A and B are shown apart, each in its own frame.
Chain A
Amino acid sequence: MDVDSNQGRMGAYLRDHQDKVVSRWTELVVAGLRGRSSAAEVRRELEDLYSLVIRAMSGADVQAAGELRAALAELSRSRARNGFTPSETALAIFALKDAVYELVADTTDLMPEYLAFSRTIDDLGLHTFETYATAREQVIADQAASMLELTTPVIRLWDGIIAVPLVGTLDSVRTQLVMEKLLETLVATGAEHAVLDITGVPTVDTEVAQHLLKTVSAVRLVGAECIISGIRPQVAQTIVALGIEFGDIATKASLADALAHALSRTGHKIGTA
């Protein structure tokens, strides 16, 4: 008996017992998801998959196998995005084996067909795992990217004065992002003063210094002036020992000092509280 005819008989069997198998399959999957999806929701998902399994199993339908894989990939991706574990995700497909086995166990003459079916499901299960892993990696990459966005806001401090509070590691990717957002805002608002606040940058080494110097030069090219603020005492001492020179760039201990400095340059006067 070759695999194809095994699959054909299994396909027919699955079609004849559709309601029983899907009900049991749904039960098993719902139990494994610990109440995070309703039975009706799961049943709808599984019914779609089931009709694809039948079509794929009946052998004749070449497209069905591809559609089944695509449907499973979609299911894995949505499970990965919604925080389901890999085993909870793979359960959706592996539980079909149990559901079918419980029925087939009584009709011993279907055993060879069941084994072939079981191998196919194992294959699909692995496929589910792989898609799940890829989807999770994508989720993590997206989160990292949005963190990057989140941690580089450009804030309007005053008329003509904007600030960028830098937090964390200032590598070249971050610097590029900060520079683009900063220059865009400067040009869009016509602001003439930009404050780069490094209170949240734990280490200022030659790499960070170079990135700051580059940003300052770019800001000057669009006709604005930069002030670097948030230089804590221990960082100031380290910068001096390292030999980094900020030249004629205004540097201030705090964001408040930087704002006062920029205001006095724009002709505003503020009193001290």
Chain B
Amino acid sequence: MEELPIRTGNDVVRVRQQVRAVAAESGLSLVDQTKLVTAASELARNALVHGGGGMARVDVVTSGAGKPGVRIGFTDDGPGIADVDQALTDGWTSGGGLGLGLSGARRLVDEFELNSKPGSGTSVVVVKWSR
């Protein structure tokens, strides 16, 4: 629905604002909105900082049971992640961070799919369903 570039810190703010608007419109509770926006903030910043910039795509989706939800896809053409398990370990960072962004984002959403290979970029897709 909406393709957003992630090239600067301001773009990360814009992604958050877009996700917040779509999440509120889809009827997510305030807690779920906040969780999804925070997860989006982490993944967008990872795409920017570790992936050298990328794109975010925000879509409204419907579950098999007819519940609305919000799906966000992040892609970058950065170096990729060599050891995904290690990257998803709480507290592991390749430099300077808290090492909680990726693992924390996974806990904040209902569905989390990460695809990455060294040299071919990273893609993360997350979904949060309304309850």
Range, interface on chain A: 10 to 19
**Given the complex, which residues of A lie within 8 Å of B33, measured CB to CB?**
234
Shortest C-beta distance, B73 to chain A (Å), equals: 19
Which B11-42 residues have C-beta < 8 A from chain A?
13, 16, 20, 30-31, 33-35, 37-38, 41-42
Q: Specify the chain B residue showing the minimal Cβ separation from A169.
A: B13
Does A237 have its Cβ within 8 Å of any Cβ on chain B?
yes
A 201-222 to B, binary, CB cutoff 8 A, 1 in contact else 0: 0111111011000000000000
Shortest C-beta distance, A147 to chain B (Å), equals: 14
User: A238 touches which one: B16, B20, B98, B108 (CB < 8 A)?
Assistant: B108
Does A235 have its Cβ within 8 Å of any Cβ on chain B?
yes
The reply to whether A205 and B31 contact each other, CB–CB distance below 8 Å, is: no
Does B54 have its Cβ within 8 Å of any Cβ on chain A?
no
**Given the complex, which residues of A lie within 8 Å of B107, measured CB to CB?**
241-243
**Given the complex, which residues of B lie within 8 Å of A243, measured CB to CB?**
90, 100, 103-104, 107
Range, interface on chain B: 20 to 34
Bound CA–CA A203/B101 (angstroms): 13
Bound CA–CA A51/B100 (angstroms): 68
The reply to whether B45 and A242 contact each other, CB–CB distance below 8 Å, is: no
Interface of B is mostly: helix
Q: Specify the chain A residue showing the minimal Cβ separation from B34.
A: A234
User: Could you count the A-B residue pairs with CB atoms below 8 Å apart for me: how many are there?
Assistant: 61
A 177-220 to B, binary, CB cutoff 8 A, 1 in contact else 0: 00000000000000000000000001111110110000000000
The reply to whether B31 and A206 contact each other, CB–CB distance below 8 Å, is: no
The reply to whether A210 and B98 contact each other, CB–CB distance below 8 Å, is: yes
The reply to whether A234 and B31 contact each other, CB–CB distance below 8 Å, is: yes
The reply to whether A206 and B42 contact each other, CB–CB distance below 8 Å, is: yes
Does B118 have its Cβ within 8 Å of any Cβ on chain A?
no
In this complex, which of A203, A205, A243 has the most chain B Cβ atoms within 10 angstroms of its Cβ? A205
The reply to whether A242 and B104 contact each other, CB–CB distance below 8 Å, is: yes
Q: Specify the chain A residue showing the minimal Cβ separation from B32.
A: A234
**Given the complex, which residues of B lie within 8 Å of A244, measured CB to CB?**
98, 100, 104
Does B66 have its Cβ within 8 Å of any Cβ on chain A?
no
